[in-house]
Amino acid sequence: MTSDKLSFSLDGSPGEKQTLYLSGRLSIEYLDKMLSLIEELFREKRPAEIIVDLKDVTYMDSAGALFLLELEHRAANESIPVNLLNMSFKEKGILDLIDRQSLKEETILTEKRGQGIVEQIGYGAIDFLNDIKNVVSFTGTIIIKLFSSVFHLNTIRWGDVITCMKKTGVDGLPIVGLISFLLGLIMAFMSSLQLKQFGANMFVPSLVSIAMIKELGPIMTAIIVAGRSGSAFAAEIGTMKVNEEVDALITMGFDPVKFLAIPKVFAAMVVVPFLTIFSDLFAIFGGLVVGVLGLDLTIHTYIQQTMKAMKIFDIVTSLIKAVVFAVLIAGIGCQRGFEVKNSAEEVGSATTSAVVSSLFIIIVVDSMFAIVLSYLK
């Protein structure tokens, strides 16, 4: 009868094929013994091949599975083949439950500690490039599925779209209006201090309207939406990942990107342009308050000068910017959510990363718009 205690024996000469016979319990109580066995095997035997016989193993828990994976990992680093023999179906099931990719990522993170500044810069550059690749890839997937959904409108979950429109647009209107109003008021007041010296108060309405419609309206709205809704999208999907709800969707045959991300992107594409228009109007109203109370301009004069400065081209390009920003914000928020693995800490990191990444890409894309539009005019 096989003992419940862990025991092992090695068969093979140093430098040649080694057969490791295991019996008893591969459990956490014998973890130190199992790790010592790995060190002994590679330090003293220097095997050319390793065969692990699990025929007499009576019990194996996750610690035993990690022992086998660590043995495979050490052998792979030295290009030594490993074969597991006589593994029961139950033991194989326990081994399959462990996420090997996560173990590799943890190992990489551990190896980064204590590295010099050059190595840290190198790892940082690699992570940055991988992150860009993932964002571009996911954005491409979103765009493809958006076009597919446009031609198959019955596949869109309109109930979720309307809910996201309310959360992103209606609920975000007060903060967008307040910030835009104060921004227009500040711009009008600060510009008037300089323009007063030259008797050019009449140009304050034009300055506020041009600045808001061409640049500040779309970008300020995008920043607010990224902070409110982009982070919420990442947190929502990230929590679903932690609770394995996304895995459940996949098991039931649903496409998680189309099921979860597309309604959010559609909602953002609809409401962000409207929020941008409201942002422009509130900023102009803020400038109007300064113009009437501080510059002795009439309401009619202020509105007339504003209308003269506004051009259809600028309004259209502003709305195009808003749509592009909406896709980027919703897409990045969802992508960060799908990257969450299995902890609440990662949900927090994904939420922060969604906001920071969105702001960075918004600034970059807005710069590209400025260059392209300057040539189109």
Region 193-207: mean pLDDT is 83
Q: Identify the DSSP state of 244.
A: T
Q: Mind giving me the DSSP string for 40-60?
A: HIIIII--SEEEEEEEEEEEE
275: CB partners within 8 A, 6+ apart: 169, 172, 173, 176, 221, 224, 225, 322
Residue-averaged pLDDT of the chain: 85
What's the CA gap between 332 and 323, in Å, rounded?
14
Give the domains, in start order, of the chain with CATH numbers: 7-98 (3.30.750.24), 147-376 (no CATH)
> CA-to-CA distance for 338 and 138, rounded, in angstroms?
10
- Does the pLDDT at position 319 exceed 70? yes
Which residue's entry shows tokens 């940055």?
128
Instruction: Provide the pLDDT confidence category of residue 27 given band limits of 50, 70 and 90.
Output: confident
pLDDT tens, residue by residue, 86-97: 888 888 888 877
Question: 3-state DSSP helix/strand/coil percent for the chain, to nearest 5?
Answer: 75, 10, 15
How many angstroms separate the CA atoms of 155 and 145, rounded? 11
- pLDDT tens per residue across span 120-145: 888 888 888 888 888 888 888 888 88
Max mean pLDDT range (18-22, 40-44, 215-219): 215-219
Burial class (CB in 10 A: 0-12, 13-18, 19+), 264: buried
pLDDT tens digits, one per residue of 33-55: 888 888 888 888 778 888 888 88
Q: Which of 97-101, 214-218, 352-356 bottoms out in mean pLDDT, i.e. has the lowest?
A: 97-101
| pLDDT above 70 (res 153) | yes
- Who has greater pLDDT, 102 or 113? 102
> What's residue 82's pLDDT?
87
d(CA 371, CA 351): 31
**Which pLDDT does position 223 carry in this prediction?**
93
The pTM of the full predicted model, rounded to 2 decimals, is 0.68
CA dihedral angle for residue 146, residue 149, residue 150, residue 152, rounded to 10 degrees: 170
Give the rounded percent of residues in the chain with a pLDDT score beyond 70: 94
Residue 17 predicted with pLDDT over 70 = yes
The pLDDT of residue 110 is above 50: no
pLDDT at 15: 76
Rounded average pLDDT over 98-116: 54
- Nearest residue to 229 (alpha-carbon basis) of 269, 190, 186: 269
Q: pLDDT value at position 377? A: 63
pLDDT at 112: 46
Q: Contact 144/258 with Cβ under 8 angstroms?
A: no
pLDDT for the residue numbered 104: 57
pLDDT for residue 313 is more than 60 = yes
Average pLDDT for 200-212: 87
Cβ-based burial of 344 (10 A; exposed 0-12, middle 13-18, buried ≥19): exposed
pLDDT computed for residue 226 by the predictor = 92
